[in-house]
Amino acid sequence: LNDNPSHYKITLSGTVKSPKLNFDPPFLMLMPVPLDVKTETAINIIPQDYLRQSQIQVELPEVELEDGDRIYPFSVQFPEGQDIVLSSDSTNKELICHISFRSSRPVSFLGSMFFIDEEGN
């Protein structure tokens, strides 16, 4: 600096945070209903550490019935959209997701739904 031969050592440190999604509630149990009647509930998806906009996609489970037929009795809707947005205070806005179930055939199911961002997380 200014032709001064002194050496300066600069040490930088930081923490890398991977984006993640939290859910409220973390588990979902839908009540039994008569055949062909829809049951529905809402969950809050809480994005954390997203530095840019992303969009959530959902992989819905396929359910195999006793006779071997396969159905997709679950559906999801995002009434306010599926975009993860970074707000002016550097936080991510919560997303509301409505999950519903309807089947015209008797079925019981325990499994997972996968919520995936554009980066595959």
Give the strands of the sheet with 74-77, arranged side by side: 20-24, 39-48, 95-101, 74-77
What is the per-residue pLDDT for 2? 64
Write out the chain's pLDDT in tens, 121 residues.
566 666 677 888 888 788 889 999 998 888 889 999 999 999 999 999 888 889 999 999 999 888 889 999 999 999 999 999 887 777 888 999 999 999 999 888 888 899 999 888 8
Looking at the DSSP bridge assignments, the partners of residue 47 are 21
Provide the whole-model pTM. 0.79
Fold classification of 20-116 (topology level): Immunoglobulin-like (2.60.40)
Q: Which two tokens stand for residue 77?
A: 């809707």
- Burial (Cβ within 10 Å: 0-12, 13-18, ≥19) of residue 29: exposed
